[in-house]
Amino acid sequence: MKDNLENILKDKLENFELPYEASAWSQMQAKLDAKASPTTSRWYWFGGAAVIAILSSLLVMTWDTHPEAQQQRSEVEVSSPIEEQPDNVLPTPQNDETNLVSEEKEVNQNEVVIEYAPEKEVATEKRKETTKVESEKPQATPITSVMKQSEENKLVEQPVIDLQPEKDVNELVYTTGIIGSTLLCYNDELVIRNNSLNHKVRARVNGKTFELMHNEQAKISNITAATQVEYLNAKNEVIGVEYISLHEKPNLFFRAEANLFNERNGLPVIQISNTNEVYTGQWYLDGKPTSLNENDEIYCYTKGAHTLNYEVSDMNGCTYTEQKTVTVDKDFNLMANNALNPESIIPENRTFLPESLTRMNVPFTFRVIDPSNGGVMYETNDVTQPWDGIDIRTGQLAKYNQTFIWQVSLEKSIENAPKTYRGDVVLVQKR
């Protein structure tokens, strides 16, 4: 029986990986034999066996519950990093498949697909997650699904959103584009846009073929009622057609004549005639809004080429413009002559005053200046008192064939005319 008890204890200790020393057991057995009587010895054996049985039961119960605790702790350690990881951050790629996922992440954040991993892949990913937690330096692994252990200790796959790799540019499928409007006003531009992420648009308009990538658009001018948009595939086969329509253009026309002066105020004008009065529009001179006076005239004060535009809008909301170009020969200078002859038989040639001052009906100051010293030879603000060639400083007639400077300052401007004018005048003698 002693031998049996010794073997039982030895087996139990070996199961729990405790050292067994035969010498220690022999010493304990000798002491028991020397001190105990046969009856007490028997009780000792029964008591020892009971103690060993109790200890064995406790150790077995502890061992049985230990894997469950280890598994629960492992599950918590594995799931925590995944819960804290942001949804939009992907782990470091480890193979070609995850490299494609990373490239898609960099290019596009919008289009995503849901992928489900097969059973083998799920088990492999679970082992990778456990290795990552136990390692001192965790290395990220591709996430294709998250595993949880249910109450029945069965693995349940929880799918997560993954990114689909963007297609290579050369592999994109051709599709039709988006047109802003197929009903256009005359001279409007046709706008075609590609809003598709993974498609290209190839179009042919008025004999010209072009391609559009994502978020690109094309603007085509010179659109007519015969224009149509043909969408093509990679083989230049027509996969779609859209037809363009135009609103009817109004019949606009006018004539313009320059180098004329308004009879009332003597200001330079461009005469407008033969205007189509069906439409009410806006006039522009060199891009600036202007208007016609009561004689259908537009004031213009500088020499050179000038552009006239007549712009109207119809009931369709379309705007149309008719344009003309006119040339003005001289800068406006109050219609002044450049000479006077005190001895002329023609009364108008005996004195000097810019003619427009007699028509403008605006307060002014007129001076004649000696260019040699800047002295004022004559000054007036009365249109009835032109200069007759007398130098008011000496009371004598100014020198003949000498150029003098005249200057006019207006107190206010009319019809946007300049307020200051200057020119030359020569005193000539009759021969």
Query: With contact defined as beta carbons under 8 Å apart, do 184 and 246 qualify?
Result: yes
Q: Which residues contact 115 (CB under 8 A, 6 or more apart)?
A: 144, 159, 162
- The pLDDT assigned to 243 comes to 95
Query: With contact defined as beta carbons under 8 Å apart, do 160 and 112 qualify?
Result: no
- pLDDT above 80 for 369: yes
Q: How confident is the model at residue 32 (pLDDT cuts 50, 70, 90)?
A: low
Q: How confident is the model at residue 431 (pLDDT cuts 50, 70, 90)?
A: low
Beta strand segments in 276-348, E:
282-285, 288-290, 297-299, 304-313, 319-328, 339-340
Rounded to whole angstroms, how far apart are CA atoms 317 and 250? Answer: 12
Instruction: Give the mean pLDDT of 261-283.
Output: 85
What confidence tens digit (pLDDT) does each residue in 37-46 have? 555 555 555 5
| Pairwise pLDDT comparison (145 vs 182), residue with the higher score | 182
Q: Which residues contact 408 (CB under 8 A, 6 or more apart)?
A: 334, 354, 357, 364, 365, 366, 367, 420, 421, 422
- pLDDT above 80 for 373: yes
What confidence tens digit (pLDDT) does each residue in 208-232 have? 999 999 999 999 999 998 899 999 9
Instruction: Give the mean pLDDT of 346-358.
Output: 92
Task: Please check whether the two domains, 172-246 and 255-328, share a CATH topology.
Answer: yes
Write out the two tokens for 133: 């937690």
- Mean of all residue pLDDT scores within the chain: 74
Q: What are the b/e assignments for 136-146, b being 16+ CB within 10 Å?
A: eeeebbbbbbb
What confidence tens digit (pLDDT) does each residue in 217-270 have? 999 999 998 899 999 999 999 999 999 999 988 888 899 999 999 988 889 999
Going from the C-alpha of 296 to that of each of 117, 293, 299, the distances in angstroms are 82, 5, 10
- Choose the CATH number for 172-246 among 2.60.40, 2.40.30, 1.20.272, 3.30.1240: 2.60.40
What confidence tens digit (pLDDT) does each residue in 196-212 have? 988 999 999 999 999 99
Phi and psi at residue 410, in whole multiples of 5°? Answer: -90, 140
- The pLDDT assigned to 139 comes to 47
Residue type for position 26: S
- The pLDDT assigned to 274 comes to 76
Rounded to whole angstroms, how far apart are CA atoms 372 and 393? Answer: 14
- The pLDDT assigned to 136 comes to 46
Question: 255-328 has which fold?
Answer: Immunoglobulin-like (2.60.40)
Taking Cα atoms as reference points, which of 338, 370, 360, 337 lies closest to residue 418?
Answer: 360
What confidence tens digit (pLDDT) does each residue in 48-106 have? 666 676 666 655 455 444 444 444 434 433 333 334 444 444 444 444 444 433 333 34
Least confident of 52-66, 143-157, 176-190, 223-237: 143-157
- The pLDDT assigned to 179 comes to 93
The residue whose two tokens read 């584009």 is 177
Q: How confident is the model at residue 33 (pLDDT cuts 50, 70, 90)?
A: low
- The pLDDT assigned to 95 comes to 44
- The pLDDT assigned to 85 comes to 43
Taking Cα atoms as reference points, which of 254, 258, 290 lies closest to residue 273?
Answer: 254
Rounded to whole angstroms, how far apart are CA atoms 216 and 201? Answer: 9
- The pLDDT assigned to 341 comes to 93
| Pairwise pLDDT comparison (379 vs 102), residue with the higher score | 379
Percent of the chain with pLDDT over 70: 59
Question: Any idea where the domains of the chain sit in the sequence?
Answer: 2-75, 86-162, 172-246, 255-328, 339-427
Q: How confident is the model at residue 23 (pLDDT cuts 50, 70, 90)?
A: low
- pLDDT above 90 for 403: yes
**What is residue 352's DSSP assignment?**
B
What count of other Cβ atoms lies within 10 Å of the Cβ of residue 177? 23
- The pLDDT assigned to 123 comes to 43
- pLDDT above 90 for 107: no
- The pLDDT assigned to 149 comes to 44
Query: With contact defined as beta carbons under 8 Å apart, do 241 and 228 qualify?
Result: yes
- The pLDDT assigned to 110 comes to 32
- The pLDDT assigned to 263 comes to 86
- The pLDDT assigned to 31 comes to 57
